[in-house]
Chain A
Amino acid sequence: QVQLVESGGGLVKPGGSLRLSCAASGFRFSDYYMSWIRQAPGKGLEWLSYISGGGHFTIQADSVKGRFTISRDSAKNSLYLQMNTLISEDTAVYYCARGQGLADSWGQGTLVTVSS
């Protein structure tokens, strides 16, 4: 069955960086677009970015453009989110999800807290 496992979250100071990873299994990873979606504490959902199966096309939300970069490594069946210049508003649970437009499978999420 499809499994997505995020890692790399934690506490980081404003202006700092963090790299999230998502290990995928149970499906042919390179066949699928993949996405990052976040949820601030007690808030709704925000679709941040997605990447094509081959990794050649990416798109980011304006709120993270220029600061966050999505990437993937099909040899490792892994998805990544490099987060730079973090601000307090980036505090959230970050989910990796399979799909673009539709998120048909989700990981359990990893919490990122931006605080001094």
Chain B
Amino acid sequence: EIVMTQSPATLSVSPGERATLSCRASQSVSSNLAWYQQKPGQAPRLLIYDASTWATGIPARFSGSGSGTEFTLTISSLQSEDFAVYYCQQYNIWPYTFGQGTKLEIK
């Protein structure tokens, strides 16, 4: 099973600033990497797939990069609605696995 490790566990950032979230895979997943956003009491929402492709309706301030084992999600200018938990997920090999999440909180 591929283990996905996200860092940091919690990130405190002020609105309007940039946030950078990291995800590392225990072995290469090529570009088969997705990012999801989850707010309290809600289901996750797909943000990015194929490491860098926006899902439908996702604002351009979200961007993904990386390949192989190292990936990054960047939110260029944080809005109030962006404070949530973010998960990375690999879909290169079954079982598909998620990271443990990064909680993005208001500083």
Whether the Cβ atoms of B44 and A106 lie closer than 8 Å is yes
> Known: A44-B99, A47-B98. Contact between A106 and B87, CB under 8 A?
no
Which residues of chain B have C-beta atoms less than 8 A from A61's C-beta?
95
Chain B contributes a number of interface residues (CB within 8 A of A) equal to: 22
Chain A at the B interface: SS class: loop
Which segment, of A19-27, A81-89, A96-104, faces chain B?
A96-104
Scan B3-33; emit 1 where CB is below 8 A from any A CB, else 0: 0000000000000000000000000000010
Interface Cβ pair total, 8 Å cutoff: 44
Whether the Cβ atoms of A59 and B44 lie closer than 8 Å is no
A46 close to chain B: CB less than 8 A:
yes
Give bound CA distance, A44 to B46, whole Å.
15
Which residues of chain B have C-beta atoms less than 8 A from A46's C-beta?
98
> Known: A101-B32, A102-B91. Contact between A47 and B97, CB under 8 A?
yes
A95 close to chain B: CB less than 8 A:
yes
Whether the Cβ atoms of B46 and A104 lie closer than 8 Å is yes
Give bound CA distance, A95 to B44, whole Å.
9
Contact partner of A47 (CB less than 8 A), chosen from B32, B43, B55, B96, is B96
Give bound CA distance, A47 to B96, whole Å.
6
Whether the Cβ atoms of B94 and A109 lie closer than 8 Å is no
- Taking each of A62, A95, A102, A105, which has the highest tally of chain B beta carbons within 10 Å of its own beta carbon? A102
- Taking each of B55, B96, B100, which has the highest tally of chain A beta carbons within 10 Å of its own beta carbon? B96
Give bound CA distance, A103 to B96, whole Å.
11
Contact partner of B46 (CB less than 8 A), chosen from A47, A103, A109, is A103
Name the residue on A nearest B87 (C-beta): A45
Give bound CA distance, A108 to B96, whole Å.
21
Give bound CA distance, A15 to B73, whole Å.
41
Name the residue on A nearest B101 (C-beta): A44
> Known: A102-B49, A106-B43. Contact between A44 and B87, CB under 8 A?
yes
> Known: A44-B87, A44-B101, A45-B89. Contact between A101 and B43, CB under 8 A?
no
